[in-house]
Structure 1
Amino acid sequence: MKEVTELLSMNAIENFINRHQLSFIYISRPSCTVCHAVLPQLRELLEQFPHIKLGHVNADSVEEVAGRFSVFTVPVLLLFIEGTEFLREARFVHFEQLKQKLKRVYQLYEE
């Protein structure tokens, strides 16, 4: 499974996004049952994309994340390319569609 970096502050989140060319931020809350189901599937999917780094944010601990990234529900999955948000999925994630989107992005990045 893909390694996950726990991001515990807005500063840590911004540094993570800026430090990696391809960064994926997963925003969740401990009380969200959907969040608990999505994370293992996301980690498994991202194994296919070794250049994408995965960071996790607990929205209860880092409350500012909601305002910074316009998060109205959880889970939220955000892909950043060179610091710019490129892809967003929220609440119910269709993993086959997400996989296809990631493949396209990854192919462009690899070229």
Structure 2
Amino acid sequence: MATEGDYILSVMNELFSIEEVDNFVNHHHLAFLYISQTNCGVCHALLPKIKEVMSDFPKIQLAFINADHVPAIAGHLSIFTVPVMILYVDGKEVLREARFVHVEQFREKVKKIYFLTQE
């Protein structure tokens, strides 16, 4: 039987340290982080919807961080709630959404950024 962790790993790279997060963000033109916690119902309900949105933007590299496994991530990225979704372009944060996200509005914001960054 597949576990939630198996599902997450099939969707995104899972990062386990601040160094991995920084390397991921700095080594991809378009990098997206989904920060969650183990016992967060909103996080787990939203993840499949966000994964579906992001499937429309294949050049964006996706990563998942469980804040329970990387407690320092909250301070490192100034996170006060979960879930948090952050999109980076060339290492610079260009979009941040947290907690209750309107999926279609999120899709439109990502779409604008995505097409503005294509050469």
Q: TM-score, normalised by structure 1?
A: 0.96
For the residues of structure 2 that align with 1:71 and 1:83, how far apart are their CA atoms? 17
Q: Give the percent of matched residue pairs that are identical in Structure 1 and Structure 2.
A: 49
Which of residues 1, 4, 15 in structure 1 aligns to 2:12? Answer: 4
Give the drift of 1:19. 1.0
For the residues of structure 2 that align with 1:104 and 1:6, how far apart are their CA atoms? 26
For the residues of structure 2 that align with 1:6 and 1:34, how far apart are their CA atoms? 19
For the residues of structure 2 that align with 1:90 and 1:10, how far apart are their CA atoms? 20
Give the drift of 1:3. 3.5
Mapped pair 1:41 → 2:52: no
Counterpart AA for 1:18: N
Runs of 4+ more than 3 Å apart: none
- RMSD of aligned residue pairs (Cα, Å): 1.0
For the residues of structure 2 that align with 1:106 and 1:58, how far apart are their CA atoms? 25
For the residues of structure 1 that align with 2:11 and 2:48, how far apart are their CA atoms? 11
Mapped pair 1:54 → 2:26: no
Counterpart AA for 2:47: L
Counterpart AA for 2:35: I
Corresponding residue number in structure 2 for 1:84: 92
Counterpart AA for 1:109: T
